[in-house]
Structure 1
Amino acid sequence: MRRRDLLLLLALLAAPIHAARADDDDDDDDDDDDHDRARLAMQRGEIRPLATLLAEVERRYLGRVVDTKLRRKDGRWVYELKLLPPTGRLYELRFDAATGALLRAKGPVQERS
């Protein structure tokens, strides 16, 4: 399987994106509205595509993304990814959804050499 196909498969298998309400409310009662907000934010150019970020994370870090969320925090869109490396210890990475810049890594995430 080619790397590009593997990345596409990974993006499709990743947990669905959950977008928080614009007022930073983390209540996930209406997932359809949440997905619509994420889609609209991407159409407006407010966020980068998740597939692009997943490909970058796959190239940069050891492990597999097992969960993804898109949240609105402090007026900015943030992708939260959970990464499962070969060690088996789950890590959380937070990225600015507009720029792809790493905002926070929770745990000693290993970069590829």
Structure 2
Amino acid sequence: MKTPRPSTYASRNERRRLVAGVAAVAMAVPLLSLPAAGIAHDHERRQRSDHDEARRALLSGKVLSLRQVLDIVAREYPGEPVEVEFEHDDGMYRYELKLLQASGRIIKMKVDASSGKIISVKARDKEDDD
């Protein structure tokens, strides 16, 4: 009767351990991502809700379109919009904008979404970041 060589046993045992380790990791990875997936899902749901609210406000004539607001703002503060948020706080609709000007300056502002009136402006020059 032939006896397997000791190196063959070691190889089989190592393979079994490797397979068991890979299986354990494969089962653990989805479990680790559950909380993050839940947070991402809530964020997406809130964004959809915000988008729906903005759309309803626009269609009902309560607010100006983003294009109209950007045209109003550009008269005084030319620049490219790099971030836009639509908010409804304390019964007031407003756009929060970040504009990047040609000089590299970033302008953050709040604009009344109903009238297009600029509520507040904060400017940050490029060298402020350095």
The TM-score range, normalised by the shorter chain, is 0.5 to 0.7
Gaps of 5+ in 1: 1-26
| TM-score when normalising by structure 2 | 0.56
Please tell me whether the aligned partners of residues 58 and 64 of structure 1 are also in contact (alpha carbons under 8 angstroms).
no
User: What is the TM-score with the length of structure 1 in the denominator?
Assistant: 0.64
* Alignment partner, residue 85 of structure 2: 69
Cα distance, 1:62 vs. partner?
Answer: 2.7
Give the count of matched residue pairs. Answer: 83
**Of 87, 101, 104, which aligns to 2:117?**
101
Q: Greater relative contact order: 1 or 2 (C-alpha under 8 angstroms, separation 6 or more)?
A: 1
Letter in 1 for 2:108: E
Aligned match for 1:44, one of 52, 60, 66 = 60
Equivalent position of 2:51 in the other structure: 35
Task: Give the ranges of 4+ consecutive aligned residues of structure 1 lying more than 4 Å apart after TM superposition.
Answer: none
In structure 2, the residue matched to 1:3 is none
1:53 is matched with 69
Identity of paired residues, percent? 35
Quote the offset at 1:60 in angstroms: 2.6
Per-residue CA distance 1:51-97 (angstroms, 9 max, x = gap): 11112222332321111110112220010110111221312111110
Letter in 2 for 1:73: D
User: What letter corresponds to residue 89 of structure 1 in structure 2?
Assistant: R
CA change 1:61–1:69 in 2 (3 A) is same
Larger Rg: 2
- What is the RMSD computed on CA atoms of the aligned residues? 2.0
Unmatched segments (≥5 aa) in structure 2: 1-41, 126-130
